[in-house]
Amino acid sequence: MITSCHFLGSSSQGNCLLVKSTESNFLVDAGLTGKQIVERLPAFSVAINDIDAIFITHEHADHSQGLRGLFKYSHIQCFANQGTAMAINDKFGKTFRWNYFKSGEKFSHKNLSIETFSIPHDAVEPVGFLFRSEHGGKSLCWMTDLGYVPQRLQEYAKDSEILILESNYDNTLLENDRRPQAIKNRIRGRYGHLSNESAFNLIAHTDRPQWQKIFLAHLSRDCNDSKIVTSLFGSDICNRFNITVVDPNDAIGVSYSCL
């Protein structure tokens, strides 16, 4: 069963989560450099040789760049759908060792059952993951990099005990940012990123969720602030669902023990 999870990074500069279970230590995304990942793991009593799998959501560099440096560790199994895998191969000019899955299907790795679901984002074939242990314990849902939350995704979110949800930008900060208008429109679009308000609406209006822990993650360093997110959600909701806002400037070591 899943015993704990630990953020190695959570921002547009790099996203990576370490998840420990009774039979597996794995990463969700590898958006830091390989060197950074190797150097940060020992803080959680894990070495790179203890990592047996990496599950990749999509090809954007802040979710995949570490694969280039981790390629030499042949014991690590890399899981992605074919569209994402081919895009990463093209990006880095290297053919990685892939374990393919089809978006929307369920598959297994050691004691884990992994459900995949397509998400609305401007990548080739982006997905989210719902991890469950075959021996009980808490389930974990990774749902970041999506422009909005369709009804079918709400069902995946509500069925997880641990939810990692994107809360990428504050509307006012984004509008006042110096970025080109086209970039702002892309971020706000239906295939961009999730705003604080959209994340709030999902959490506040979901009927009978299973949540015991929520991480609000992938905050923009320029167009968001953890204090704004905390204020929006308020103490009642934060306490009810044990919400942690993952500060993009201080994400390393944000953890949760499932035991």
d(CA 1, CA 6): 15
Residue 250 has pLDDT above 80, yes or no: yes
Q: Specify the pLDDT at position 208.
A: 95
Tell the residue number behind the tokens 């070495």, with chain if given: 47
pLDDT of res. 134: 83
- Does pLDDT of 185 surpass 90? yes
Distance (Å, whole) CA 221 – CA 231: 17
Residue-wise pLDDT for 38-69, tens only, equals 999 999 999 999 999 999 999 999 999 999 99
Of 125, 136, 253, 141, the closest CA to residue 206 belongs to 141
SS (H, E, C) 71-97: CCCCCCEEEECHHHHHHHHHHHCCCCC
Residue range(s) defining the domain that contains residue 81:
2-257
Q: How much is the pLDDT for 195?
A: 98
DSSP-derived 3-state class of residue 220: coil
Average pLDDT over residues 148-176: 97
Rounded to the nearest integer, the mean pLDDT of the chain is: 96
Q: What is the per-residue pLDDT across 198-212, written as a single tens digit (0 to 9) for each?
A: 999 999 999 999 999
Separation CA 215–CA 217 (nearest Å): 6
Residue 14 reports pLDDT greater than 80: yes
Strand order in the sheet with 106-109: 106-109, 112-118, 127-133, 140-143, 162-166, 213-217, 243-245
CA dihedral 208, 212, 218, 219 (to 10 degrees): 80
Is residue 132 very low, low, confident or very high in pLDDT (cuts 50, 70, 90)? very high
Helix (H), strand (E) at residue 131:
strand 127-133
> How much of the chain, in percent, has pLDDT values that exceed 70?
100
How much is the pLDDT for 156? 96
- Give the pLDDT of residue 137: 87
Whole-angstrom Cα distance, residue 204 to residue 219?
Answer: 19
DSSP one-letter string for 10-35: -STT--EEEEEESS-EEEE---S-HH
Whole-number pLDDT of residue 259: 76
Q: What is the domain count for the chain?
A: 1
Of residues 25, 30, 24, 39, the one with CA closest to residue 9: 30
pTM, two decimal places: 0.97
CATH of the domain at 228: 3.60.15.10
Instruction: State yes or no: pLDDT of 135 exceeds 90.
Output: no
Q: Identify the pLDDT of residue 123.
A: 98
